[in-house]
Structure 1
Amino acid sequence: MRWIWIDRIVEIEKGERCVTIKNVSAAEEVLHDHFEATADHSAMPILPNTLIIEGMAQTAGIMVGHAADFKEKVLLAKITKATFTKPVTPGYTIRYTAHMENFGKSGASTKGTVELLDPATGDAKTIGEISLMFSHIDHNMAGLEFPDHNFVFTGMFIDLLKRSGVEIADDAVV
């Protein structure tokens, strides 16, 4: 099963930037493994930083795919930077903002910020910076056989794009 770590695309500017949100709910079981209650402290459920990175990878990957009208198979190639200043706990919303740094035939590099939105005050606080590199594998791994369908932008991602109002060309590789 493939997990989606963003709930909605809020804004997308072709080849420039993508903004998404993720509502962090206490109903998500993965939060409760970090950190369980002990005799010394009460439970502190948090969203692991690896899943925050995955949310940014999905946000930036959508931006990279959108820039090429979803005609390329886009894969995360490298995490070049990931810094965090505060944990994410249930009841908050994460806002991911990805910016395109470079885009070409072989892939793209992106830079993004992670903000925590406080539902009580509406305040936003930057809690992370993530830089990523993506590969267009059909160009970079020429000679290898890959499926004709796009195994990155699967039906769940296409549904997310459509629910968020992003148009997808009829000749997109989905």
Structure 2
Amino acid sequence: MRWTWIDRFLRLEPGRRAIAVKNLSWAEDYFADHFPGYPVMPASLILEGLAQTGGILVGHAHNFQKNVVLAKITAHFQREAHPGEQLTYQAELLDLSEAGARVRGTAHSGQELIAEADIMFAHVGREQLPPELDDPQFVFRGELAHLLRQAESAIPSPPSGTSS
């Protein structure tokens, strides 16, 4: 099973918010078993997509020099997500400190709210990580590194005639 629950980034506003999408295809393995006869995307995977969107936003805020780990999620769901839908994940950075960050996330299908979550991330020191993860960018490798490059290309350009 793959571990990336975002298909692409639409927008990244550094230090402020990120928007990503996930297309729900019948080809996703979990639809065969969750639930037979009534396929829905597991709520935990929706939350993981929100956390990945928010985690990239938080990591980007510190130039990926801090180890960002998911600490806590409080979520509310309005309804299930089904094959054929496209989820839009929005993450807004509410608080950022040396200790961690707080992000407000929502998942929509079209204009309809699917889920909303308050997500806490912690910045952990090297001494708190297993030796094989002693690298500030251990989270942002592989598929997530590709998504990160995509997110950075989704940073809006300043209007012409202004300096950055």
Per the normalisation by structure 2, the TM-score is: 0.85
The unaligned stretches of length 5 or more in structure 1 are 37-42, 118-123, 168-174
> Which residue number in structure 2 is paired with residue 135 of structure 1?
122
The question of whether the paired residues in 2 share the 8 Å contact of 1:17 and 1:100 is answered with yes
Partner Cα separation in structure 1 for residue 85 and residue 128 of structure 2: 43
Q: How do residues 78-97 of structure 1 correspond to structure 2 at under 5 angstroms? A: 78-79=72-73, 81-97=74-90
Note if contact 2:18-2:92 (Cα within 8 Å) is conserved in structure 1.
yes
Structure 1 partner of 2:33:
33
* In 2: Cα distance, 1:69 partner to 1:107 partner: 14
1:49 matched to 2:43? The reply is yes
Return closer, same or farther for 1:143/1:66 CA change in 2, 3 Å cut-off. Answer: closer
Task: Tell me by how many angstroms 1:12 deviates.
Answer: 0.8
* CA distance 1:106–1:7, shift in 2 (3 Å): same
- Give percent identity, aligned residues only: 40
Range that drifts further, 19-28 or 155-164: 155-164
Partners of 1:82 and 1:56 in 2: how far apart?
11
Given that 1:21 and 1:93 are in contact with CA atoms closer than 8 Å, whether structure 2 keeps it comes out as: yes
Distance 1:135 1:33, change over 3 A: same
Deviation at 1:156, TM superposition (A): 1.5
- What SS class does the counterpart of residue 4 from structure 1 fall into? coil
**Partner of residue 69 from structure 2, selected from 37, 52, 75:** 75
Q: Are 2:2 and 1:8 equivalent residues in the alignment?
A: no
Q: 1:142 to 1:27 in 2, by over 3 A?
A: closer
Instruction: Return the TM-score normalized by structure 1.
Output: 0.81
Higher RCO (Cα < 8 Å, 6 or more apart):
2
Partner of 2:158: none
Of structures 1 and 2, the larger Rg is shown by 1
SS of 2:103's equivalent?
Answer: strand
For 2:83, the aligned partner's letter is: P
2:107 is the counterpart of 1:111: no
Moved over 3 A (4+): 141-146
Cα 1:56–1:143 change in 2 (3 A) is closer
